[in-house]
Amino acid sequence: MLRRFAPRNDTILYEFETIVAQRRISSILKYYMTDKKVILFIDDNPVDRTLIGRILAKHDFEVLLAEDGAIGLRMSQERKPDLILMDILLPHISGIELCKKIKQNPVTKDIPVIFYTSIGTPKNLIDYTSYGAVDYFQKTTPPEELIASIKAVLKQGV
């Protein structure tokens, strides 16, 4: 007698599938409809990737991480980040060559690039703009200065 009032199994399954589909759509929309600025950080040092990635995420940026220039180039073309922060000393392809490739590609040419490197040359002695970068920081720079520069560049819409 109780069976007559219980919902059929196919009705429960349909309702479950509908809920799952709605959740998938919702998570996809959240992923693509976010207002967060996307920053691609390219560095071969896992400690730096983790540290800077966390600092950027703490300042409400969506962070993409790449461990070398080839991966970074592919990610820049696929995801078209709002800004690319990269080391100059990368395996396979240097940051300078990578920056040139990014600036030559019509898909990525308008993405601002900031060099973030352990090279000890002072900022005023590096002509980073000739390679297509908008700024240059040594890894010893306080994170607050780096974040301020990133925000300024994104605000300008370089």
The closest alpha carbon to 45, from 97, 90, 96, belongs to: 90
Please write the tens of the pLDDT for every residue from 134-143. 998 989 899 9
3-state secondary structure of 63: strand
Arithmetic mean of pLDDT, 51-66 = 95
* Model pTM score: 0.75
What is the rounded average pLDDT of the residues 108-122?
85
Q: Which helix (H) or strand (E) holds 36?
A: none
Alpha-carbon distance values, 18 to 10, 14, 15, 33, 71 (Å):
12, 6, 5, 22, 37
Distance CA 42, CA 17 (A): 40
Residue 5 CB partners (closer than 8 Å, separation 6+): none
Q: What is the mean pLDDT of residues 18-47?
A: 76
